[in-house]
Amino acid sequence: MTKLSVNINKIATLRNARGGNTPDVIKAAADIERYGAHGITVHPRPDERHITYQDVRDLKKILKTELNVEGNPHEKKFIDLVLEVKPQQVTLVPDVLGQLTSDHGWDTLANKDFLIEMIHLFKTHGIRTSIFVDANLKMIEGAKITGTERIELYTENYARCFNTEKEKAIAPFVEAAKRANELQLGINAGHDLSLENLKFFKQNIPGLLEVSIGHALISDALYFGLENTVQMYLRQLK
């Protein structure tokens, strides 16, 4: 079964809107884990507008499954946090300062030397690495050179076109997954995956190890309840 890692950034956004500790991000993560999710994903940004660096430290203390920390390793503060906390997985994302949300993968060829250096650093500390990439065969082949264990396919293009031409939308991701499998790269995926499009994606992507889902899942939880929503997403992955 493909693993479900729930991104809890949106829960932190709600908390930070009023200050204080409501909703309790750490308790929510523990509950999501208890409801059956296989891991928790967080993306602490330099301005800490949702997940804070202290949240990451606190989560590592209580989680029983996997913690996946996303971020841009151009930020020394991010590197220091990852090396301190030692999550099970770090996902390297090429966000720029102040970016609203992730919207593109790495150019693994142009950034080859930098990625090799960062991935080596994290791997020497026993942290599994994944790098955010578009469904582009050259970028996936470049990812192999960096030494990363996994890639995370950026799925916004798939999600945007799913309702109108899902076969066309999935095609480049199928080819990307096949190439990743040939190169023995583990495959994660994330961005705008939802109850509507997740099952079709899972059924068509060979070797899909993990999906990271936040915005859609937390939004659905407003209607269906958090425990029920986690279970609904898990059923899409079976």
75 catalytic? Reply is: no
Helices (H) then strands (E): counts for the chain: 10, 8
Catalytic residue among 33, 66, 70, 152: 70
191 catalytic? Reply is: yes
70 catalytic? Reply is: yes
Token code pair at residue 179: 């190439």
Catalytic residue among 33, 43, 50, 66: 43
Catalytic residue among 33, 50, 152, 191: 191
d(CA 213, CA 188): 11
Distance of CA 195 to the CA centre of its chain: 17
Token code pair at residue 209: 């190890």
How would you classify residue 185: left for phi > 0, otherwise alpha for psi between -120 and 50, otherwise beta?
beta
Phi, psi of 5 (to 5 degrees): -110, 125
Yes or no: say if 152 and 114 are a contact pair by the CB < 8 Å rule.
Answer: no
Q: Active-site residues: which are they? A: 43, 70, 191
